[in-house]
Amino acid sequence: MEKYWNPVLETLPREQLQQLQLKKFQNILKWSYEHSPFYRSLYKDAGLEPGDIRTLDDIRKVPKTEKSMLREAQGKEPFPYGSILSVPIEQVTEYRQTSGTTGQPVYHPETWQDWEWSAESWAYALYAQGYRDYDRVFLPFGYSVNIAFWAGHYAAEKIGCEVVPGGVLNTEARILKMKEIKATAFMATPTYILGMADVAKKKLGIDLPKDLNIKKITSAGEPGACIPATKKRMEEMWGAKVYDQVGATEIGHWGYECQAQAGLHVLEAFHLVEIEDVETGASITEPGKRGSMVITTFDRFAHPCVRFDSKDIVEWSPIERCECGRTFRLLKGGVVGRADDITKVKGVLLAPTAIEEVVRDIPELGDEYEVVVIKKGDIDDITLKVEISPAFKHDASTVEQKLAQQLRLKTGLRYSLEFHDYGTLPRYDVKAKRFKDLRAKE
C-alpha cells in the first residue's frame, strides 16, 4: 500500500514547494482581483495590482482580510454571499455557514469543483493518518448547515473507505452501531470523543478497547488532540490513535497530524501560512515564537480566502522534516489559542459578545450577566447567570423560554440558566469580567 496520497507533492523539496506556493498565490490573487468586487476594491484602495507580487516577500504588501470584512461584504449583492462571490451564483452547488457564534454567520458557497477541493484536501490528511480502502469509517455528527465533518465524509469515500453516516442517532445508538458494524475509525470533536467514551462506560457498560474495533480517530473542531493530556485520555479510553485536524469554513481544511504525531502539518500545497507577531505584525519564520496565523487558500475559487487573519495562535516546529517524510512544515502543538477572547465550548466558537447581544436584546432582563464555563466530567458545561427586572419577575418562565431560544439560535449552544434578583450580580467600573472559563487548560 502506498505511503502517501500524493508522493510527488508531499515530498517536494522546500525550494520547489515555495515556487509552487508563489505561483498559486499569484493565481488566486489575480482571480480574486478580476472576479470579486470586494477584493478588487480592497486592492485598488491599497494601490495594488496583481502583477506587483513577484516574490514571496512581496506577499506581505497584500492587504489582510478578517471575518468582520467578510460579514460586511456579504451584506451586498448577490444574496446571500455578497461581493466576495467570484463565480456566477448559478455555479454554486453547496451552501455552508460558520456557526455565527462570533456574530452574524458567514455564508460560504461551494461550486462542485470547490467541494471536490475540500474532499481532496481532507484526503491528504486522512491518508496520512492511515485511512485506507479497508476501513469502515463512522461519522457521528449532525449533518447540517455547518461544515463540521462533511468533507471528511467525502474524503473517506474518495480514499475508498466504507463510510457510515451516524447523523440522527443519539450517542448510545451511535456507539452500539459502531460496535455492531465493527467500525475501524471515526471523526468527532474531542469533547464528543470523551463524551462518547463516558456514555459507553457508564450507561452501556462497554469496554471500548476490548468490545469495539476502532483503530484511529480524527479529532477536529476544537483543541484537544493537540493537548497532550487530552490526547492521552482519548487514546486510552478508546484504545486507538487520535489525530488532530484543523480547518475553518472560510479557509478550508489546512492542517493535520500524521501517524508520527510530531505536530500539525500545514497542507502547504493547498495553503500559504504566514505567522505574524501579535503586537508588532512582524513576520515570524523561525521556531520558538508564537504568533497569529495569516492564511491564503489556493485553488478554491467561489469565495476566495486571501491573507485571512485567522486569529489562531500558532508556532513553527523546530523539527525540520517529519519522520513521515513529508516536507510540509510542522506547527508545534497545533493551534494553541486565539488572538482574541473567542473560545470554543462544546466544539462551537463562542464569543462573549454574542451572549451579551442576546441578553441585552431582551428588555425583561437586567444589563448584567455572567457566563461560567466548567468541565462536568469530560463535557463542557456553560452556565448563564442573568438578572430579571422586578416588573417581570412574575413571568420568569416566559423570559427563560425566550432567552433559551435566542441563545440557541444566536450561539448554537444550550445553557444552564440561573435567574438572580435584580442588582445581585457583580458590577464593574472598568474591565468587566463577565466571562469565566474555569476549564483546566494544560
Partner 1 sequence: MVKDYKVGDMAEKIKVLKETATELKRVSGGIQAVDRNVDRILASIKMLEINISDLVDIGIEHREG
Residue 269 or 294 having the CB closest to partner 1:
269
28 near partner 1, rule: CB under 8 A: no
The size of the chain, in residues, is 442
Q: How far is the CB of 118 from partner 1 (least distance, A)?
A: 11
Residue 13 or 47 having the CB closest to partner 1:
13
Spatial CA neighbour of 267 closest among 238, 247, 240: 247
23 near partner 1, rule: CB under 8 A: yes
Q: How far is the CB of 210 from partner 1 (least distance, A)?
A: 39
What does the angle CA 271 – CA 135 – CA 263 come to, to the nearest 5 degrees? 35
| C-alpha torsion 436→438→440→442, nearest 10 | 10
Among the listed residues 63, 68, 89, 112, the single contact to partner 1 using CB under 8 A: 112
Among the listed residues 97, 113, 213, 283, the single contact to partner 1 using CB under 8 A: 113
Residue 11 or 97 having the CB closest to partner 1:
11
Of residues 242-271, those binding partner 1 (CB under 8 A): 269-270
Contact by Cβ (8 Å): 294, 61:
no
Among the listed residues 235, 244, 250, 299, the single contact to partner 1 using CB under 8 A: 299
Q: Determine the residue type at 299.
A: D
24 near partner 1, rule: CB under 8 A: yes
Of residues 307-326, those binding partner 1 (CB under 8 A): none
8 near partner 1, rule: CB under 8 A: yes
Of residues 186-245, those binding partner 1 (CB under 8 A): none
Query: Exposed, middle or buried: residue 353 (CB in 10 Å: 0-12, 13-18, 19+)?
Result: middle
Among the listed residues 25, 39, 50, 120, the single contact to partner 1 using CB under 8 A: 120
Give helix 190-202 / helix 228-238 axis angle, nearest 10°. 40
Among the listed residues 81, 117, 256, 422, the single contact to partner 1 using CB under 8 A: 117
Q: How far is the CB of 259 from partner 1 (least distance, A)?
A: 18
Per-residue interface string for the shown chain with partner 1, residues 82-111, x marking contact by CB under 8 A: -----------------------------x
Distance of CA 289 to the CA centre of its chain: 23
26 near partner 1, rule: CB under 8 A: no
Residue 302 or 345 having the CB closest to partner 1:
302
Distance, CA of 262 to CA of 260 (rounded, Å): 5
Q: How far is the CB of 70 from partner 1 (least distance, A)?
A: 24
Tell me how many helices (H) and strands (E) the chain has: 12, 21
Do you find a cis peptide bond into 80, omega within 30 degrees of 0? Answer: yes
Query: Exposed, middle or buried: residue 310 (CB in 10 Å: 0-12, 13-18, 19+)?
Result: buried
Compute φ and ψ for 419, nearest 5 degrees. -100, 125
**Which residues sit at the interface with partner 1, rule CB under 8 A?**
6-9, 11-12, 16, 19-20, 23-24, 111-113, 115-117, 120, 269-270, 299
